[in-house]
Homo-oligomer: A and B are copies of this chain.
Amino acid sequence: MIRKVKTLLLHFPNYKQASFYGFILALLLIVLRQLELHFLLINHLFELYTAGIAVIFTGLGIWLAVKLTKPAKEIVTIEKERFVDPDPFEIDQNELARLGISKREIEVLQLIAQGLSNEEIADKLFISVSTVKTHSVKLFDKMDVRRRTQAIEKAKRLKIIA
């Protein structure tokens, strides 16, 4: 009998408390048995009946509690950062085509924007300073500017360099 209750109780998370409950149940049964002596009319079946009632209604109580207890709601708020348009820079090819700027001229323009002097650009591109100057002149003419600093500003504004 007690074992049966115990096995039933094994399904509960806290095993120790469950067995404690079983112990109480056992005690109760013993007390009932003592009482039985005073009530001779009650036979052995009565014990079983009582135990049965106890088990059934314990089960009912548990079922009730589990069924009717509302699950505690835990609200977790997750803040998600979403970067809107992380500036996907793209060179405006249309603008380049419109101005008729050649590849070499763009190269020179980019190096100018990086702060290099004509001589440094010449060294980097393995050409003479004269050629760099020629490219510059044509570039400035196409971009309608007269200084490299203006070219830098306008080029960035028109998105023809990074």
Cα of A53 to Cα of B32 in the assembled complex, Å: 11
Whether A90 is near chain B, meaning CB under 8 Å from some CB there, is no
Decide if B18 touches A64 in the complex (CB within 8 Å).
yes
Cα of A74 to Cα of B69 in the assembled complex, Å: 12
Give the residue of B18, B54, B147 whose beta carbon is less than 8 angstroms from that of A68: B18
Size class of the contact patch on chain A: 35 or more
A151 contact set on B, CB distance < 8 A? 115
Whether A137 is near chain B, meaning CB under 8 Å from some CB there, is no
A1 contact set on B, CB distance < 8 A? none
A73 contact set on B, CB distance < 8 A? 71-76
A152 contact set on B, CB distance < 8 A? 115, 149, 152
Q: Nearest Cβ distance between residue A69 and chain B, in whole angstroms?
A: 5
Cα of A118 to Cα of B102 in the assembled complex, Å: 30
Cα of A22 to Cα of B76 in the assembled complex, Å: 37
Cα of A77 to Cα of B145 in the assembled complex, Å: 50
| Known contacts A73-B75, A80-B81, A86-B87; 17 further A-B pairs (Cβ under 8 A) | A12-B64, A13-B69, A14-B69, A59-B61, A61-B61, A62-B64, A62-B65, A69-B71, A71-B73, A79-B80, A79-B81, A83-B84, A84-B86, A114-B149, A114-B153, A115-B147, A115-B151
8 contacts between A and B (CB under 8 A): A17-B64, A17-B67, A58-B61, A62-B62, A76-B77, A79-B81, A85-B86, A115-B147
Interface on A for B, CB 8 Å cutoff?
Answer: 12-14, 17-18, 21, 50, 53-87, 112-117, 145, 147-154
